[in-house]
Structure 1
Amino acid sequence: MNIILLSGGSGVRLWPLSNEQRPKQFIPLIKDHSGQPKSMLQHVWSQLKHRNLHNSTVIATSVGQQALIHDQIGREVDLVLEPEKRDTFPAILLSVAYLYSHRGVSRDEAVAVMSVDSRVEDSFYNALINLPEALESTGANVALMGVKPTFPSRKYGYIVPEPDTENLPIMTIERFYEKPNAQDAALYIERGALWNCGVFCFKVGFLLDLLASMGLPQTYEELLLVYSQLEIRSFDYAVVERERRIAALMYTGSWKDMGTWCTVAEELNDPIVGKGFLGKDNNQVQIVNELDIPIIAVGLSDIVIAASKEGILVSHRGSDAQLKEAVQLMKESLLPKSDSIETHSRLVDRSVFADGTIVTTQRIHLKAGMERIFEPLMDGRRQIVSWTVMHGSSRVVKNKEGIVVSSGWNVTLENRDEAVIQALGPVDLLEITTITNL
């Protein structure tokens, strides 16, 4: 059996620790048997290696996460790189095309898809390797793995079995419902529904036929060329919810979706990570603090407090479903409200050292046609400014010499210099200013 490990998300539900630059699966929040911190990716990869399943596994991820994956689990891993993020349906299609055209996997071979952000016992993999049998014995096109629900959550898909197969080792499925409302979820649980563990199994030919029916190529290189045309949609909605021939296995061990603060807080052995203090009358309070200033919590119940340079979150443990929307609304509210605004900047860090040195880091956005001028200090102190172009194209004039620069370019300026950077299109800069006493 072949495995596709999905590791392309950014994990907004774990904001502010998780973001586009540091997705949740790379944050060392899990401790191994020796007490050493591990990321979700490292934990799952070690479990796959323990079962010798890693050699038949490819990781579907975005181009921007390639270096992070290599740093955490090594360069021998086989990666399927998405040229852009388009959700799990396109990522799985691209991965199957890669298995078929690059690794020589035949149409009749089974492929299991699993997410990197689940916390499971080793017995989970006993069920995983039995999924191809579920396809064969039932004639299903898709086999799923489910667990018994504990409450009518809106975060998961629901696998509703046929009445005469409920609680059998292999069940045939009446219907799959992706993320219903709480009222409908309660009804499905009464009918013996399972939570979907985010595991899908199918034969390679099933997905290749789907590509053909959509008028899309079946080879990896050709599919890459039209990847931007694929529908942005999850595999659950695009395939599983529409499929009528589904089977399922029940997994009876421990399973947690590590994509929310509620489940992450349950896994942390210490209620305080980083600088923090719990005062009197606290109940079920978790502090995760990456800042160099302390957080104090007093008289709170069922609260998660998370802090990083990205921001500070104070949330009720049961409010995970609202965080993604809240983060999006926050970002929209902080954008410039008028086209007349030429630039905007965000302070990333400001440090003052014992010898009086001040280092300030700002992220700056310039609209097309706008400019930022280097202004030397006139008070006798030494100033060094570093401009790094993070994204976009611009023209820099330094001491009357001009050059067109783009992403990755860097220049260092001192008091004696004259310089200006002019945006040829939207440009994002990182500006680091160091001021010292002469």
Structure 2
Amino acid sequence: MPSDKPIIPVILAGGSGTRLWPLSIKQKPKQFLNLADKELSLFQQTLLRAQNISGSYPPIIVTHHRYRFLVAEQVVQLNVKARILLEPCSRGTAPAITLAAYEALTLADNPWLLVLPSDHYLKSTDSFDTAVSKVIKDNRAESVLVTLGVEPTSAEPGFGYINCAGKAEGGTGLLPVTGFTEKPAKPQAERYLQAGGYYWNSGINLYKAGVFLDEVQHLCPAVYDACRNAYQKLESDLDFLRVPIADYQESPVLSVDKGILEKSSRLMMAKLDAGWSDIGSWKANWEIAHKDNGQNVCLGNIQHVDCLNSLLRSDSRQIAVLGLKNIIVVDTADITLIADKSRSQDVSLFTDFVQGGTDTERVLRPWGSRNVLYSAHGYQVNQLTVKQGQKITLHMHRQRSEHWIILNGSAHVNCETDEYFLEKGNSIVIPAGCSHSLENCGNAQLEVLEMQIGDYLGDDDTIRQ
């Protein structure tokens, strides 16, 4: 649905959601996961929707710098173009969108911004395109902030609610907003459902970049000033755009809903009827996925007998479930969650405990990934995965040695002036202070078991050469 009016999607991909724990964790939150029975991650689905609307304008992706390689990898998988804007620290959605607005103004003359959370699901792309098109064609939208609302089908206490009471009958155009309520208690949500005129807040916004920046300057000048100062020092770094932390962290931490939309006198709502879900719980995941005759969602290596209305997922091991109803079973390499489906909103109660207790942590790098298998005082065991044709470039460590064992593939290692070609089962010791590199020179992924030994093992002991 490319429009003759410039539309630049802004995809917010920096959140670290915990409601789909233990699959969604800080290192890889839910927007980067393939959920339900979908082949693409939520982020990738959002990116394709954005590309369908924007035409020749690349979407602007705003994410935390810790997710930069996750984002870049999933963009490359789709073979699309995007501008990846990195936040050096988390300040909330209001500063993130403000940065994106400045970037959008360099691409087009006062374009429309279509702000999209990257962790939501839409069943109908056509209905979404239609809703956006209606807003763009409404002349009133040129000077206001528009948020898309979803007519509620149940009293969900986990959602935000937009109040258009008394204004919603009849037309399908823009509706004045009279209030917001964030995550009301169940009885209050039930009253909203009975009263009518209340809509779920989809988190999808649409407005002109200049109009949005005017409202930020008026309603929250501290955000406006910090983001303006940070953007003026924008730098390119490989495929990324970076702003300095010293300026950006001067912005208060603020959501766009609380800081801008709820305070604005220029806010209106348009209806969205596209099968929206924020997939904010395992129950919501169950609702959108394909089900068997017993209304079970089975993902992975699952065997079940006499089970009903359940979500059963395993990413590795075989799971056997017998005679259970309305349950959630999610099995990962580190932990297994078993919960009553009606309590799936409460799994975040466990996240502080488990994030501190797990032994594994996968970190993406341009050349592949590093998985921390075990860490203790004085040593750490990692599994390195180097993609075909990729290389860990020349570097050294002053305070640690490294022992490499080739688990799979072929490696070309440089260590000072010496050169080695290693195959599966070979090993090498890299002494502290020795310049070295590691290259995948084979036709398959290179898997390396790495043991680091030293008094200090921090990443800032890596000296690039």
- TM-score of the aligned structures, taking structure 1 as reference length: 0.73
More displaced, 116-125 or 395-404? 395-404
CA distance in 1, matches of 2:142, 2:450: 65
- Equivalence for 2:318: 294
Please state whether the residue corresponding to 1:125 is helix, strand or coil: helix
CA distance in structure 1 between the aligned counterparts of 2:321 and 2:430, rounded to whole angstroms: 55
Stretches of structure 2 that go unaligned for 5 or more consecutive residues are 1-6, 235-242, 292-296, 363-370, 385-396, 403-428, 439-447
Q: Is the 8 A contact 1:11 1:24 kept in 2?
A: yes
Determine the structure 2 residue equivalent to 1:193: 198
Question: 1:283 — aligned with what?
Answer: 308
* The one of 20, 24, 44 aligned to 1:42: 44
Structure 1 unmatched runs, 5+: 335-344, 350-359, 375-384, 414-418, 429-438
1:252 aligns with 2:273: yes
Change in 2 beyond 3 A, CA 1:365/1:315:
same
Q: 2:28 aligns with which of 15, 18, 22?
A: 22
1:172 aligns with 2:185: no
1:320 to 341, 344, 347: 344
**Letter paired with 2:325:** S
Contact map agreement 2:401 2:454 (CA 8 A) in 1:
yes
Shift of 1:166: 3.6
Distance verdict in 2 for CA 1:208–1:16, change over 3 Å? same
Percent pairwise identity: 22
Partner of residue 156 from structure 2, selected from 150, 153, 157: 153
* Aligned: 1:141 with 2:166: no
**Does the 8 Å contact 2:400/2:453 carry over to 1?**
yes
Give the conservation status (yes or no) of the 8 Å contact 1:304–1:316. Answer: yes
Corresponding residue for residue 85 of structure 1: 90
Q: Structure 1 residues 16 and 287 mapped into 2: Cα distance closer, same or farther (>3 Å)? A: same
- Decide whether aligned partners of structure 1 residues 279 and 44 sit closer, same or farther in structure 2, where only a CA change above 3 A counts: same
Give the TM-score taking structure 2 as reference length.
0.69
Q: CA deviation at 1:254?
A: 1.6
Residue identity in the other structure for 2:300: G
Aligned with 1:221 (options 224, 227, 232): 232
Q: Judge conservation of contact 2:165–2:198 (CA < 8 Å) in 1.
A: no
CA RMSD of aligned residues (A): 3.9
Greater displacement, 55-64 / 119-128: 55-64
Aligned length: 377
Please, which of 115, 129, 132 is the counterpart of residue 125 of structure 1? 129
Equivalent-residue separation in structure 1 for 2:382 and 2:355 (angstroms): 27
- Equivalent residues of 1:306, 1:313 under 8 A apart: yes
Q: 1: CA distance between counterparts of 2:26 and 2:348?
A: 13
Partner secondary structure for residue 301 of structure 1: coil
Distance 1:111 1:403 in 2: 50
SS class of match (2:201): strand
Residues 1:397 and 1:159: Cα distance change in structure 2 (over 3 Å):
closer
- Partner in structure 1 of residue 15 of structure 2: 9
Amino acid at match of 2:275: S
C-alpha deviation, 1:394, in angstroms: 7.3
Q: Structure 2: how far apart are the matches of 1:275 and 1:244? A: 53
Which amino acid in the other structure matches residue 304 of structure 2? L
Report SS of the residue matched to 2:226. Answer: coil
Partner Cα separation in structure 1 for residue 398 and residue 216 of structure 2:
41
